[in-house]
Chain A
C-alpha cells in the first residue's frame, strides 16, 4: 500500500485520463501500472513519474503504459527520433542489417505490427522494413 501512496498522483492521473485496461498491482516490492492510452497521456504520466522520482531510480515502479495498442495498419506515423534518422531494418532486431532510413519528422505508414517494439513500415519513397516503435508516434 505504501507504494500506491508514493505514486498516488500518478495513479490518480492515469485514472482521470481514462487510461484503458488500467491495472495497478503491487508484487514483491514493485508497483506495476499497466494500461493503454494516447501518446500525449503517456508523456504526461511519465512527466509525473519524473517529478516523483527525478532519476527513475527507485526500482519500485514499472510504468508499462502502451500508447501504440490502438494504432492500426495503414496508420500514418511520424518519426520522432531525438536528432538522427530512423533506421529501417531487414528484421525485427538491431542485429538485423539496416536497409533504409527515415528522416526525423518524416511521415511513414504502418504496414504490419511485429510486436510492441518493432513495426514493419513503409516510407513515402517505398522503402520498407522494421523500425523501433519508440521512435514512431501516431499522427493524431
Chain B
C-alpha cells in the first residue's frame, strides 16, 4: 500500500514537473539558438555575407555593409522569419557606389595639342581642331597614309584624347 502511494506521488510529481518545465522551454527560444540560425543564413545567403548580428531577448541588431537598399531589406526579412525573433534593428549601411572607371585619363591640353601637332606633321594636308578631348580632322590625306596617321593619333588616347572625328577628312 505504501509503495503504491509513493508511486502515485512520484508520477504526480513528474507530471507536474513536465507540465511546468515543457512550456517554458517551448515558448521561449534562446538567444543563442537565434544566433545560430542567423549565422547559418549569413553563411548561405550571399546578400547577408559579411554581416554580424547581436541578439538580446529576441531583438536582433544587424550590422555590416549591404550593397544596396534592396539587399538591406532582404536581410531584415530573412532574419525576421527566424523563429523567436521579436524585432530587428537594422543598422546595416549601404556600400558607397564604386568609383567610375577612368577609361581616358584627364588631358593636359597643351601637351596633347603639341602631341597632335607632332603626329600630323608629316601629313601636310590634315587640319586639326581639339575641343574637350575630341579631335576633329578636316582637310585631306592620301588613302595609303591614312592608317599611319590614325595609328599615331589613336596612341594619344594615353594622353587624354577621347575621340577622333574624321568623317570630314577627305581620303584620296
Interface size on A, residues (CB 8 A): 27
B60 at the interface (CB under 8 A from A): no
A64 to B151, CA, bound (A): 8
Name the segment of A3-11, A12-20, A49-57, A119-127 touching the other chain: A49-57
Q: Which chain A residues border B150 with CB–CB below 8 Å?
A: 46, 56
Residue of A whose beta carbon sits closest to that of B163: A30
Task: Write the B134-172 contact mask toward A (1 if CB under 8 angstroms, else 0).
Answer: 000000000001111011101101100111111101010
With a cutoff of 8 Å between Cβ atoms, the chain A residues found around residue B163 in the complex are 30, 59, 62
Contact between chains at A62 and B157 (CB < 8 Å): yes
Q: Report yes or no: A56 in contact with B146, Cβ–Cβ below 8 A.
A: yes
Given known A-B contacts A25-B103, A32-B157, A134-B151, A59 and B118 have beta carbons under 8 A apart: no
Contact B162 A30 (CB under 8 A): yes
Closest B residue to A61 by beta carbon equals B154
A59 to B100 Cα, complex, angstroms: 23
Could you tell me if B121 and A94 are in contact, using CB atoms closer than 8 angstroms? yes
Do the beta carbons of A134 and B169 come within 8 Å of each other? no
Partner of A56, one of B101, B118, B147: B147
Measured between alpha carbons, how far is A66 from B101 in the docked complex, in Å?
21
Known contacts being A50-B147, A56-B147, is A116 close to B101, with CB within 8 Å?
Answer: no
Checking A34, A57, A93, A95 against B167 with a beta-carbon cut-off of 8 angstroms, the contacting residue is: A57
Q: Is the CB of A64 within 8 A of B164?
A: no
Query: Which residues of chain B are within 8 angstroms of A93 by Cβ–Cβ distance?
Result: 114, 118
Across-interface contacts of A62 in B (CB, < 8 A): 104, 154, 157, 161-164
Q: Look across to chain B and name the residue whose beta carbon is closest to the beta carbon of A81.
A: B122
Interface string of B98-125 (1 = CB under 8 A from A): 0001011000000000110111011000
Q: What would 21 A/B residue contacts be, using CB atoms closer than 8 Å?
A: A25-B103, A32-B103, A32-B104, A50-B147, A57-B166, A57-B167, A59-B166, A59-B167, A62-B157, A62-B163, A64-B154, A64-B157, A66-B155, A82-B122, A82-B148, A94-B121, A95-B114, A116-B158, A117-B118, A117-B155, A132-B118
A→B interface (CB under 8 Å): 25, 27-28, 30, 32, 34, 42, 46, 50, 55-57, 59, 62-66, 82, 93-95, 116-118, 132, 134
Closest CB pairs A-B (n = 5): A64-B157, A62-B157, A56-B150, A57-B166, A27-B103
- Given A27-B104, A59-B166, A116-B158, 6 other A-B contacts at CB below 8 A? A57-B171, A64-B154, A66-B158, A93-B114, A118-B118, A134-B155
